[in-house]
Amino acid sequence: METVPAAVLDAVARQAARAPGKPALIDGADARALAYGELAALVPAVARGLARRGVRPGDLGGVHLDGARDLALAVYAVAAAGAVPLLLPAAASVDELARLLAAEEARFLFTSAALAGPALAATDRSYVRQVFSFGDVVGATPFTALPAPDRPGDDRPAVDPMRDLALRTPAGGFTHADRLAGIVRWSGSVEPAHTDVLVACATEFGHAAETWMGLIDLALTHGATFVAATGRGGPALLAAAEGHGATIAVTTPATLRSLVHDPTARRSAAGLRLVVIGHMPAEIEHDCRRRHGWSVTRCH
């Protein structure tokens, strides 16, 4: 059995060979896109850079980010280096971040210019000795300084997919086998293709970063584009779907219910396929088809 970074990066490399300029990830807040070719080159290069800065297999690294583009780059690079990404809530307080970092004995941290204040303050009460940042942050190594060239002997670190963690959250850990099983399970429900554009709002889900990473894993292994919608609720999701030509929107039963009864929801997104995570009454699915022309897939 392979590891998550191996499975995802191999799929990314295949898509990059076909269409290197195709967007892999798009952040709705600023429309920043990361192409498949960039992703295929950056992740292994950053993983090498982390290893040359002392990151070792099994080390835990905090990931305190709120954009899907940066989140994916950090998580895949950390995992590709053999370390374990610890997903931290973007809105966490200094005290909460310090507690999580110390309790998990995280050795390094990824953050951004927008979130660096609480993150850096929290490191003073933790085992973190290196901070890497997206954007300019005093006292942190910029992400742009991390990529390192390939050289003889740079092999993928040895990992046991059944036992070694691929991801850790405040609620628990996930092995590589767990995450790969999640990709297979979601693939059966969502059935994405390389022509699809998948959109989701992080604020809809209780474990935002964890859910986003699962959806990003899913999109990238199928060569699709993942769009991170900003804002909250149905209008934000529809705006992102229409703005980026999404074919699949992932949402919750509560958001879908509000959309069905929203008179401002237009039929311009007719043909959009909605994937609902959680229990959904059958009448809501019926109303979606009748009022808006949307098909609905349930994913538990």
CATH fold match for the domains 35-174 and 177-299:
yes
Mean pLDDT by runs of 10 across the 300 residues of the chain is 87 96 89 94 96 94 92 95 93 94 96 94 95 95 95 72 90 90 88 93 72 91 93 81 90 82 62 81 76 76
Burial of 45 per CB tally in 10 Å (0-12, 13-18, 19+): middle
Among 89, 72, 79, residue whose Cα is nearest residue 34: 72
Return the closest-CA partner of residue 29 out of 84, 68, 87, 78: 68
Whole-prediction pTM value?
A: 0.92
* Domain-wise residue ranges, the chain: 35-174, 177-299
Residue 238 neighbours by CB under 8 Å, 6+ apart: 249, 259, 265, 266, 269
| Residues forming a β-bridge with 110 | 63, 132
Instruction: Tell me the CATH architecture of domain 35-174.
Output: 3-Layer(aba) Sandwich (3.40)
CATH code of 177-299, in short, is 3.40.50.980
pLDDT at residue number 65: 92
* pLDDT for position 300: 62
**The residue count for the chain:** 300
